[in-house]
Amino acid sequence: MLRVLAHVCCVSLQLALGAASAQSTVSAANQPQRLAAPQARSAVDALPKPAVVAEVLLAVGAMRREPAGEPLKRGAQVFEGDQIHTQDGAHLHLRFVDGAMVSVRPNSRLQIEQYRWDPQNAGRNQVKFRLDEGVARSITGQAGETSKDRFRLNTPVAAVGVRGTDFVVQTGLNDSAVLVNRGAVVIAPFDTLCRADALGPCASPASRELRAEMGEWMAKVEAGRVQMMSAKEWPAGRRPHPSEPRSLAFEGAGRESNGSAGVDTAQVATPGVLTAGNVSIGLINAWRNDAAAAARDPAGERLAEERAEHIARAYTKVVNPGASLPASVLTWGRWAQTPIANEQNPAPWIERSDYANMLVSDGVNAIFGPAGTRDIVPNNGRFAFVLRDARAALLTDQGPSAGKIQGGSLGIDFAIGRFETVLRGSHQDVDGTIVISGSGPMRNDGLFRALMAQPADPNIVGVVANEGKEAVYVFSKPVLTRSGQSSSFFGLSRWGR
């Protein structure tokens, strides 16, 4: 029915445009200077333009999107309403505006029917996919996490709703199979109580919930019912691309795990999300009173000054002021193809497959190290580190906007496993100096994180690298802009000794 209506609309539009063109041609015969072309353009401009909802992170093999009929490549924008077609051997990874990630595997057809995300009003969020054929994996972003009743993935025979989830769907014309890597989904066959035009999980008697903690199970939908089966029955033939996040990937009979708390790799390239080692700190929308408290905290300024002086006195300086640091083995990169606003000398654009070598990320930029760079951590010595470089940004409604870091101090006591640090930054939309100051424990594997006593305290988490000769960390702090908006000042820093 929808296709019929769309066809009727298109025919009507063509007739309207044809009539306008004919009228303009007649007028032009008598008055050559009449503006016929703008009349046609005004009719086209009246059409609503589709919204950009995602960016292509990975494009391997032959694929195209409809209705444009054009090939997709890395860095391309994807629009609401696009239908993705992947051919044999093709893999596509998409990152959506709310941090969600979707991978489309070979010989698949996925349509983005709706993708609306309003960070200020969760009631306006709407996410709806339609997988007509093949395999797709979805890792929900903020829209799916905050509005689970407004997320839906349809196949020809079933509806899949989420409970905050990483899941994989394979479908043909007559049956569908679903696996859950994390969280839970609700699967239901279409019937009078579960309609394809609805949003959210179906609550029909035929619906079933599949949770990750249930173990090696999958749900298969066929002939109007859901059947729970061993995951060993998962259809083979469309395996994930190697650059899909392995810590969450689940195919066939086994679930891979890195044995840690697990980094949500769907979020790692979302501006403001902090990742270091196996720790990930999700995007935090600062409350206005926290940001205001952080902005008017003179005690925080004094504490930062005292901490910087203490680091200068109490920690061993390996490199004297003015001397050159040894060359770093760590490198910078940025996730998005386009640099953020106001950024000078942006980091090189990186490949998604470099994730295995990533040490820290703030969602805009990341710092990478060679394999094994975290293997050796000293167990003695108390050293002052020198700030090599740092990048920072302010999270705005229009996206991240680059800020500055003026300087800082870092001290690490390897004998007792403790660190303390101070950074000073600024942004054109924030009054005064933004102080990032904190201290906390360091684990045996070299991962350290600041203790937070108040909501206005900054998040700081990082790792030691290169046999304890280098360190990197990411940070974020609630701030208040000149216009009175609460926001987050975040970034990452690289240190050496």
CA–CA separation, 214 vs 216, rounded Å? 7
Asked whether residue 204 carries a pLDDT value surpassing 60, the answer given is yes
Mean pLDDT within 196-220: 87
Q: Residue 366 corresponds to which tokens in the numbers above?
A: 């990341």
Continuous segment of H or E residues that includes residue 495: strand 486-496
Distance spanning both ends of the chain, measured CA to CA: 68
In the DSSP assignment, the letter for residue 308 is H
pLDDT at position 283 is 56
Q: Tell me what the pLDDT averaged over the chain comes to.
A: 79
Work out the pLDDT band at 271, boundaries 50, 70, 90.
confident
Amino acid at 108: S
CA–CA separation, 88 vs 83, rounded Å? 17
CB atoms within 10 A of CB 482: 10
Question: What are residue 234's phi and psi, to 5 degrees?
Answer: -55, 130
Burial of 478 (0-12, 13-18, 19+ CB in 10 A): buried
CA–CA separation, 180 vs 476, rounded Å? 32
Mean pLDDT within 441-451: 90
In sequence order, what are the beta bridge partners of 55?
77, 95
**Cis? peptide before 240, omega within 30° of 0:** no
pLDDT at position 26 is 36
How does strand 126-139 pair with strand 151-154? parallel
Work out the pLDDT band at 395, boundaries 50, 70, 90.
confident
pLDDT at position 171 is 94
In sequence order, what are the beta bridge partners of 103?
93, 137
**8 Å CB contact between 42 and 24:** no
pLDDT at position 241 is 58
- Distance, CA of 71 to chain centre: 23
CA–CA separation, 381 vs 393, rounded Å? 33
Mean pLDDT within 118-123: 86
- Tokens 């008697």 -> residue: 205
Asked whether residue 115 carries a pLDDT value surpassing 60, the answer given is yes
Q: Which residues contact 121 (CB under 8 A, 6 or more apart)?
A: none
CA–CA separation, 451 vs 459, rounded Å? 8
- Tokens 């240190």 -> residue: 495
Work out the pLDDT band at 39, boundaries 50, 70, 90.
very low
pLDDT at position 267 is 62
List the beta strands (DSSP E) in 158-310: 158-162, 166-171, 175-182, 184-189, 208-211, 217-222, 225-230, 250-251, 254-255, 274-276, 279-281
Q: Residue 486 corresponds to which tokens in the numbers above?
A: 């609460």
The DSSP annotation for 159-179 comes to EEEESS-EEEEEE-SSEEEEE
Work out the pLDDT band at 36, boundaries 50, 70, 90.
very low
How does strand 70-71 pair with strand 91-96? unpaired
Q: Residue 151 corresponds to which tokens in the numbers above?
A: 């997320």
CA–CA separation, 85 vs 63, rounded Å? 6
CA–CA separation, 488 vs 465, rounded Å? 27
The DSSP annotation for 284-296 comes to ----HHHHHHHHT
CA–CA separation, 207 vs 190, rounded Å? 10
List, in order of start, the domains of the chain with CATH numbers: 52-255 (2.60.120.1440), 274-496 (no CATH)
Asked whether residue 6 carries a pLDDT value surpassing 60, the answer given is no
**8 Å CB contact between 450 and 467:** no
Asked whether residue 260 carries a pLDDT value surpassing 90, the answer given is no
**8 Å CB contact between 452 and 459:** yes
- Distance, CA of 401 to chain centre: 17
**8 Å CB contact between 128 and 161:** no
**CA-based R_g, the chain, Å:** 26
Of 178-182, 284-288, 294-298, least confident by mean pLDDT is: 284-288
Mean pLDDT within 296-304: 61
Which of 370, 374, 364, 327 lies closest to 471 in space, CA to CA? 374
The SS3 of residue 142 is: helix
- The reported pTM is 0.50
- Tokens 């339609």 -> residue: 130
Q: Which residues contact 435 (CB under 8 A, 6 or more apart)?
A: 300, 301, 304, 422, 423, 424, 425
